[in-house]
């Protein structure tokens, strides 16, 4: 596996100003399906509560959306579009891809350093992060392309 660190540094250097322009809101910061209570109302699922707020902080709401999509205790598949439609927004680019890179590097680091609990409750997340590392150069190119596209927007 080849890893192009200079390209990643360049892309992330370009990303910082854009990320600094992101809105700052209250974040849950531990969003995953096991922290959400839902109930059925008129044939549709409705969020009734978010649990486990001890890691709350402020930041870009896209961070929480990406974590919701990536953190898994079990293999349940991707977050359905209906979630984002109900939320009122899809994770916007290039923030989504930048946070995806950050989260996958964080999870791969925990996995490789053994900083995880013995039961490895986030094993699907760790496995996905290790797979992501196998194509990290592609991800960096994609982020660069998204940053270029964002620069061209009015």
Cα–Cα distance for residue pair 39/16, rounded to 1 Å: 39
- Report the pLDDT value the prediction gives residue 91, as an integer from 0 to 100: 92
With a cut of 90, say whether residue 77 has pLDDT above it. no
pTM of the model: 0.87
Question: How high is the mean pLDDT of the chain?
Answer: 88
Averaged over 96-123, what is the pLDDT?
86
The CA–CA distances, whole Å, from 47 to 119, 124, 142 equal: 29, 24, 33
State mean pLDDT over 122-144.
Answer: 93
Let me know how long the chain is.
154
Confidence of residue 153 (pLDDT cuts 50, 70, 90): low
**What's the pLDDT score for residue 4?**
85
Residue 129 and residue 134: Cα distance in Å, rounded? 9
Of 25 and 115, the structure prediction assigns the larger pLDDT to: 25
């Amino acid at each position: 596996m080849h890893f192009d660190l200079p390209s990643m540094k360049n892309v992330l250097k370009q990303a910082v100003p854009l990320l600094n322009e992101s809105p700052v809101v209250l974040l849950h910061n531990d969003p995953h399906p096991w922290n959400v209570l839902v109930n059925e109302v008129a044939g549709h699922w409705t969020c009734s509560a978010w649990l486990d707020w001890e890691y709350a902080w402020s930041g870009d709401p896209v961070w929480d959306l990406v974590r919701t999509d990536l953190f898994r205790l079990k293999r349940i598949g991707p977050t359905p579009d209906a979630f984002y439609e109900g939320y009122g927004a899809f994770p916007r680019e290039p923030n989504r891809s930048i946070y995806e890179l950050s989260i996958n590097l964080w999870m791969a680091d925990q996995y490789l350093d053994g900083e995880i609990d013995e039961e490895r409750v986030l094993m699907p997340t760790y496995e996905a992060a290790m797979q992501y590392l196998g194509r990290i150069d592609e991800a960096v190119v994609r982020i660069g392309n998204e940053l270029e596209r964002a620069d061209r927007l009015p």
